[in-house]
Structure 1
């Protein structure tokens, strides 16, 4: 079985999936970042396809950047110029060829993640 990566975003303040969040995925090597893909969450808070499908999967270090500030402004949860959470980076490693799932639980003043299934 080849590996692959999925993600989703849940708005914990509103208690629903976060639709319309732009996500960038980078492969990280030392101090170098190589952009792999850009995606946007759908009505279920997920990307329409795996953010890193089997045919592009390689073990290594990656970084997801969630453009949370744009979403929080668009949903009326914040209106400040400078936000507590704006772009949320999550750097993680994948060392096995298996399914990895990296979700983001988001509110205007806090977030968390975990290795999901």
Structure 2
């Protein structure tokens, strides 16, 4: 079984991204919704171990940047960032960070 965590960093402002709404989904539907805390983390994202399979983290980044007063075009270049990833059987801990600005993002499997 696997565990999951995430951490969102706002590269435009150089700080953790507090207040980003996110959802964890599987192909058959949504598992949980959450919001990042002051450190850009969502500690209540998953309280149980996850089976191997396909997952997606969906981050509402346009709403976050608008809430900070950032002027975005209509429609925004990035509205929702979706990270599709797989968890292998007995893959252990998966940390999926998101580094984001209004016009770009990156991710990787962290530790």
TM bucket by the smaller chain? Answer: over 0.9
CA deviations over 1:14-66 (Å, ceiling 9, x no partner): 000000000011012xxxx31000000000000033x233x341110001100
**By how many angstroms is 1:81 displaced?**
2.5
In structure 2, what is the equivalent of residue 100 of structure 1? 94
* TM-score calculated relative to the size of structure 1: 0.88
1:69-88 superposed matches below 5 A: 69-88=62-81
- TM-score, scaled relative to structure 2: 0.92
> Equivalent residue for 1:25?
24
Structure 1 gaps, min length 5? none
Gaps of 5+ in 2: none
Number of matched pairs = 110
